[in-house]
Structure 1
């Protein structure tokens, strides 16, 4: 089911989300993907649809014709590069306003998969920026909070 996306300055976008501890995710992930694809976006965090749990979904390649949907429960960055990349980022919760944001060139992310298994993967380039952007949402942080790089 497609859900409504909260828009800035909704105060819920500034809340730190709670870890998923046995919470039922029935239908949530499917709803998040449907909402993200119809928006159309490449990532969506649960707080953007008013669910204050540490969950986000991404599909960084679908607009290029290659579907790669991924769901992340309780994600954490375990390591990141000191090298920085600067990208123009947009946000489904901040319509018609993009911003240049500096992010690590790569991040090592750990999370719980939908089957309950702990996962780890290195993301680089655009995928790293995307997971960092969505992780920011789980901590109540928006692209507007990042200083504009020179």
Structure 2
């Protein structure tokens, strides 16, 4: 396993729409293991493949310490099949937008189909932080970051702050 560099705004790769994965194999599992190690080192609770420069439909998450199951989760080709009408607001952050946070409103619940680490088809009903996290990470697969939900003024301020942080090292 290896820690990979995390792509940060305003890198244009974060605007790419990720391609579906054809099969779950050892190379993909190695990427998912690297992604998980990268996410833990950052530290974070979710990471999309595009955030490590791979434009494919893969996510990893671990919500341990967030009152959720303390286990890594792997999602290959995830699809949201349903969202609730009820909405929830969560103060979101992102490893690709370091040290910046904003309240984002999303559906409070969702249902997702995906392939797991072994390529088996799975279905999940997510609520709470898990629902927020899966929607946030799936946005990355579609070239969307949480700051895209903000006004252009707020978004530009955040991008400038991230650039300034990176220059400072």
Unpaired runs of 5+ residues, structure 1, are none
Greater share of residues in helix: 2
2:143 to 121, 128, 140: 140
Calculate the TM-score normalised by the size of structure 2.
0.83
Q: Secondary structure at the residue paired with 1:31?
A: helix
Q: Contact 1:62–1:68 (CA<8 Å) still a contact in 2?
A: no
Are 1:9 and 2:6 an aligned pair? no
Query: Which stretches in structure 2 are left out of the alignment for 5+ residues?
Result: 152-169
Q: CA RMSD in A?
A: 1.6
State the match for 2:59 in structure 1.
56
Q: Is the 8 A contact 2:76 2:115 kept in 1?
A: yes
Superimposed CA distance per residue, residues 3-52 of structure 1 (whole angstroms, 9 cap, x where no aligned partner): 00001000000000000013740410110010000100000000000001
- Are 2:23 and 2:119, in contact at CA under 8 Å, matched by a contact in 1? no
Query: Which whole-Å CA distance do the structure 2 matches of 1:64 and 1:122 have between them?
Result: 17
Is 1:103 matched with 2:100?
A: no
- Secondary structure of 1:134's aligned partner: helix
Count residues in correspondence: 148
2:46 aligned to which of 25, 37, 43:
43
In our comparison, the structure showing a higher alpha carbon Rg is 2
Q: 1:65 to 1:109 in 2, by over 3 A?
A: closer
